[in-house]
Structure 1
């Protein structure tokens, strides 16, 4: 797995410069990204990027297409395996009500469904595992849909350059104290409690999911503003939870104020915490940079815990026991 992560910036550039045919969907006022796990994270990223646009965005991590979907809705279905039951269900619903649709998968039942129903589909090979394939899927989708989504090519290229920069600092060729991912992995001894601000939700959720899948440990993630209305009370008692604060360079002024108050509270309760601060630049660059740093943390943590990050036996068990409906 680490060998794939070492190549993330290279994979990202190859994916964006691939020969995938671009598509430009017109007359869209609503976009639905459907996907589970790492594929759902990609939807979260696009939701963050488009949060300031006039297009309404939903991210569906389940079986049900929003009731607001219609012929002016673009449904983007993402499944690395191509066999994700929840994503296929959303795709089937979208096809029935004549939504504009496109799917991305490595093949599987989703490719079969798209071929049968003449739905736009792009094959993106799986690299090692769904979560390790994150950048290949993200940048393949950006190649195909960046015009439709209104994302500038220069912002995409900037994000790849930032991946290259941080890669030299955190990959397996730098096992020194200057490796931020390695240092964070060494610090984690309990249950990570991840706080994130509006706009960086995808990084917090992805970090939690990667801790679950790679390191096989429990973790929790919460919006910092919401946490200040409930979750912070938990710090009044000692526990084995460890706060990790994911902060943005351009967080809203009131969010920055809340970060300072939260840190003061943790200090008063003698609770050690770690801060992970985003780089400057566009929102896409911030998101992929943070995800790279935090994903690699989970690989180093798995190694520290003498755990193979690749197998996900419990997920396999769930999938094996699902009833598969005919297409």
Structure 2
């Protein structure tokens, strides 16, 4: 479908090369010499971040759903009014200059909450040093979205004392990344490459259905298709869509359904997948199924994100688009 020459020609900044290294970057990041941090009596965690940095909070929120901690995601300027001395605000900005996240950091610094900041530097590093705020510098590779794997595993190392996940589960996820790499990397540009096959199938507007627990993978796939392939994308929770969105399939559309399923979805969700697939088949609507690997929630999410992110790069190259530039985002930033 595409060749290595095509990748080199259209992916001019070599994003695919970084993705070929994702398993190694994950391992190296988790084995880094960052010190673990411990926060006592925390019952509420706020993840603040936008774009590729916001994906960190999405994924960690899924992991924390197995704990008793209340989690809030902030992808804008405003902190929730519920923060107090038992709240930990985790601020992530790969660039260190995101104005929305910087605003949240400034607001948090005036509260009684605990704060932990991750970035590659920028205004945030300077602000944290000036205000004696707990800061961890994580260098980025290529771009914020390509750096996701490095940030995830560095932060897993730092936050492990408060996360409901074990060392063995983290190692399992890295091993699964290594396994999936053999199929989806640029070393296998054949019909057997699942990411490439999915990218070639997408010709209209993807509608990504997801179950409870895998929302972060769906959000990330949407964002990656938008940034890399410059495509419009829709995402819907499969249960909620059964009460509204599915009605749209009663007429012909250029929208293409993609079903992201988990190996151990809730039994009622499994029943719903069967019904949805029967309905789409009845209406002669072609669809794709992407099933997670087995394993813990981290393993499911990072391997799905790896496969789907790579599909977005291949989609860009198939459409003869350079995945790296995001001119519209640059325009917005310049005019803020």
Query: TM-score, length-normalised on structure 2?
Result: 0.95
Aligned residue in 1 for 2:140: 126
2:237 to 220, 223, 231: 223
Aligned residue in 2 for 1:34: 48
Aligned residue in 1 for 2:224: 210
CA distance in 1, matches of 2:136, 2:177: 24
Aligned residue in 1 for 2:281: 267
1:178 to 185, 192, 196: 192
SS of equivalent residue, structure 2 residue 33: coil
SS of equivalent residue, structure 1 residue 52: coil
Structure 2 residue 262 is the aligned partner of structure 1 residue 248: yes
CA distance in 2, matches of 1:301, 1:191: 12
SS of equivalent residue, structure 1 residue 192: strand
Q: Contact conserved, 1:245 with 1:276, CA < 8 A, in 2? A: yes
Q: Contact conserved, 1:169 with 1:178, CA < 8 A, in 2? A: yes
Q: Contact conserved, 1:26 with 1:148, CA < 8 A, in 2? A: no
SS of equivalent residue, structure 1 residue 258: helix
Structure 2 residue 324 is the aligned partner of structure 1 residue 310: yes
Q: Which runs of 4+ in 1 moved over 6 A?
A: none
CA distance in 2, matches of 1:269, 1:175: 33
CA distance in 2, matches of 1:291, 1:243: 18
SS of equivalent residue, structure 2 residue 109: helix
CA distance in 1, matches of 2:205, 2:184: 22
1:75 to 89, 103, 122: 89
CA distance in 2, matches of 1:120, 1:200: 30
Aligned residue in 1 for 2:116: 102
Gaps of 5+ in 2: 1-14
Aligned residue in 1 for 2:334: 320
Which digits, 9 at most, give the CA deviation of each residue in 1:214-272, with x for residues without a partner?
A: 00011111111111111101100111100000000111111111111111111111100
Q: Looking at both structures, which has the greater relative contact order when contacts are Cα pairs under 8 Å and sequence separation is at least 6?
A: 2
Q: Contact conserved, 1:203 with 1:287, CA < 8 A, in 2? A: yes
Gaps of 5+ in 1: 323-327
Please report how far the alpha carbon of residue 151 of structure 1 lies from its aligned counterpart in structure 2 after TM superposition: 2.3
Query: TM-score, length-normalised on structure 1?
Result: 0.97
Aligned residue in 1 for 2:10: none
CA distance in 2, matches of 1:246, 1:221: 10
Q: Tell me how large the CA RMSD over aligned residues is.
A: 0.8
Aligned residue in 2 for 1:325: none
Which digits, 9 at most, give the CA deviation of each residue in 1:260-318, with x for residues without a partner?
A: 11111111111000000000000000000000000000000000000000000000001
SS of equivalent residue, structure 1 residue 125: coil
CA distance in 2, matches of 1:266, 1:72: 47
SS of equivalent residue, structure 2 residue 97: coil
84-93 vs 193-202, which moves further: 84-93
SS of equivalent residue, structure 1 residue 166: helix
Q: Contact conserved, 2:66 with 2:164, CA < 8 A, in 1? A: no
CA distance in 2, matches of 1:302, 1:150: 37
Which digits, 9 at most, give the CA deviation of each residue in 1:59-117, with x for residues without a partner?
A: 11111111111111011100000001111111112111121111000101111111111
CA distance in 1, matches of 2:267, 2:309: 28
Q: Contact conserved, 2:63 with 2:164, CA < 8 A, in 1? A: no
Please report how far the alpha carbon of residue 52 of structure 1 lies from its aligned counterpart in structure 2 after TM superposition: 2.2
150-159 vs 99-108, which moves further: 150-159
CA distance in 1, matches of 2:318, 2:145: 20
Q: Contact conserved, 2:210 with 2:237, CA < 8 A, in 1? A: yes
Q: Contact conserved, 2:138 with 2:151, CA < 8 A, in 1? A: yes
